[in-house]
Homo-oligomer: A and B are copies of this chain.
Amino acid sequence: MTSGRRSVEEHEQYVGELLAVLRTGSTATVPLSRALHRTLAETISSPLDLPSFRNSQMDGYAVASGTVADTPVTMPVQGVVAAGDAAGVLEPGHALKIMTGAPMPEGADAVVPVEDTTADEAAGTVTIGRGTTPGTYVREAGSDVRTGDRLLTAGTVLAARHIAALAAVGLTDIPVRARPRVAVISTGSELVTAGDVLGPGRIYNSNGPALAASAAANGADVVSVDHCHDDPDEFAKMLSYAVRVADVVFTSGGVSKGDFEVVKDTLEPRGGNFVSVAMQPGGPQGSAVIDGVPVLTFPGNPVSALVSFEVFARPALRAAAGYPPPVTEMLPLATDLTSVAGKRQFLRGVLDGRTVRPAAGRGSHQVAGLAAADVLLDIPADTVSLEAGDLVKVLTL
C-alpha cells in the first residue's frame, strides 16, 4: 500500500517485525538418528545416572584394597565378570577378574590393572604385584552425570558429541526446533528452466535454485520451488498454494518500475508494501502478509536477489532454526575503493589472507562474478571512498 524510500536499517527493522512470527517456532520430535545439526528445543535433564552403576575402568582384578597392602600377594581368583554381567559379591581374601565396564562386585573397592598382576591359571590364583588404594580404577555411579542434572541446554545445535550423550542416556525422541518452511517463487516470462531450450531473449532461471539453496543452507525446510510467468492469475494461484504450505515465502522479480510487475501489481492491492531501499544491489524491495504468512519480494536480478536474501532473510531464518547469526567481521582493505553516496553498497569481495579486496564486476546481473566472491563488503551509505588498510565490515557468504 504505502511506498517510499527507506534506509537498509529501516527495511531490516520492518522485515524483522514481519518475520518475528518465525521465531515463535514450534517444536518437532525427531529420532536420534535424524537429530544431527538440529537445535534442541528444550533443556534435557538426564533420566539416569551415568555411569548407572559402579564399574571397572580397566581390565584387571577387583579386590578389597586392604587385602593387597603387602605385595606381592597371591590370592585365589573367584571367577570373572565381563561387561554386561550382573554385579556379584567378592568373597573375602579373593580377587575377581574383571573387564572394563563390568560392574564392581560388592566388597571390592579397587581394580588392579592386569599389567600389575601375574595369573596362574592352573592354580586358579593371581599374584598382585603392586598395592592400591580405595577407588582406584573404579568409576562411581553418577560420576559423569546424575539423574535430573542438566545434560544439554536448550538451543544447543546438536553435534556428534551431543548425539553421543543423548544416546548414552537412552533417549530416542529428541525435541528440536521445527525448521521454518520456505516456499520460493521466481517470476519472469523470460525465465527458462535449466535443461530446456533457451529461446531468443530468454535466460535460465537461477533465482529459484539459488534462493532454495540459500534457505536450505540456513536451516530451512524448502517445501516448494515454483517458477511463474508474468501472469497475475498464475501468480495468485502459486501464492495461494505457497502460503498454505510454508511459514514464509520468498519471490524474485516483478517488483520494480516496468510495465509488467506481476508481484507488485498482485500484492499492492492486498496490502503489500513496496519501497525503494537505499542499497546497491537490491534497491526495489517489497513485502506482504497473505493469510498470516509473510511474503518477502526480492528484485529479479540474480545478484540483487541473493544479496537481498543475505541482508533481510538470512538472519531471521537462522534465528528461527536456532542457528547462530551470520558471521561478520572487520577486515582491512587490500586496495582503495570508491562507493556511491547515499546508498549502502554490498560489494562482492575476495579474501586475500587477512585482507579483503573488491572483486571485479559490480553489475547486479553478474552471477558468475558473485560465485567467484568469498564475502560481501558492507559499505555504509555515507562512505564514498576508502583507502587500502581501512577496515571494512565483511559478511561471510
> A145 CA to B371 CA in the complex, in Å?
11
Decide: B80 and A259 in contact? CB cutoff 8 A: yes
CA of A99 to CA of B211 in the docked complex: distance in angstroms?
23
- A1 on the interface (CB 8 Å rule)? no
Q: Does A397 contact B (CB under 8 A)?
A: yes
Take A161-B210, A189-B82, A213-B163 as given contacts and tell me if A201 and B102 are in contact as well, using a CB distance cutoff of 8 Å: yes
Also in contact, A367 and B206, with CB within 8 A (given A101-B190, A188-B83, A189-B84): no
Answer yes or no: A223 CB below 8 A from chain B CBs.
no
Q: How far is A342 from B329 in the complex, measured between Cα atoms in Å?
A: 41
Q: Which residue of B lies closest to A361 (CB)?
A: B144
A168 touches B206 (CB 8 A): yes
C-alpha gap A168/B162 in the complex (Å): 40
One of A15-23, A48-56, A70-78 contacting the partner: A48-56
CB interface residues, A 351-369, toward B, < 8 Å? 361, 363-369
Integer count of this chain's copies in the complex: 2
Mask: chain A, 188-209; 1 = CB below 8 Å from B; 0 = not: 1111101100111111111111
Bound Cα distance from A269 to B208, whole angstroms: 56
Q: How far is the CA of A202 from the CA of B100 in the complex (A)?
A: 12
* Cβ–Cβ < 8 Å partners of A101 in chain B: 188, 190, 203, 300-301, 365
Please name all residues of chain B whose beta carbon is closer than 8 Å to the beta carbon of A289 when the two chains form the complex: none
A164–B373 CA distance with the chains assembled, in angstroms: 13
Q: Which of B46, B100, B160, B209 contacts A163 (CB 8 A)?
A: B209
Q: Counting CB contacts under 8 A, is A172 at the interface?
A: yes
**Given A50-B368, A52-B198 in contact, is the A206-B167 Cβ separation under 8 Å?**
yes
* In the complex with contacts A144-B365, A189-B84, A258-B100, A165-B204 CB distance below 8 A: no
What secondary structure prevails in chain A residues at the interface with B?
Answer: loop
A330 CB contacts on chain B under 8 angstroms: none
On whether the beta carbons of B190 and A84 are closer than 8 Å, the reply is yes
Contact check, B167 vs A208: say whether CB atoms are below 8 A apart.
Answer: yes
Tell which of A36, A168, A202 has the most Cβ of chain B within 10 Å.
Answer: A168
In the bound complex, what is the Cα–Cα distance between A85 and B210 (angstroms)?
Answer: 24
Range, interface on chain A: 35 or more
B256 and A100: CB pair below 8 A? yes
Chain B proximity of A349: nearest CB distance (Å):
12
Looking at the assembled complex, report how far the CB atom of A190 sits from the nearest CB atom of chain B, in whole angstroms.
3
Q: Is the CB of A210 within 8 A of B37?
A: no
A interface residue numbers (CB < 8 A to B): 32-33, 36-37, 46, 48, 50-53, 57, 59, 80, 82-87, 97, 99-103, 114-115, 139, 143-145, 151-152, 159-172, 188-192, 194-195, 198-214, 216-217, 225, 230, 256-260, 300-302, 306, 309, 361, 363-371, 373, 397
Q: Closest 5 A-B residue pairs measured CB to CB?
A: A84-B190, A164-B210, A165-B371, A83-B190, A145-B368
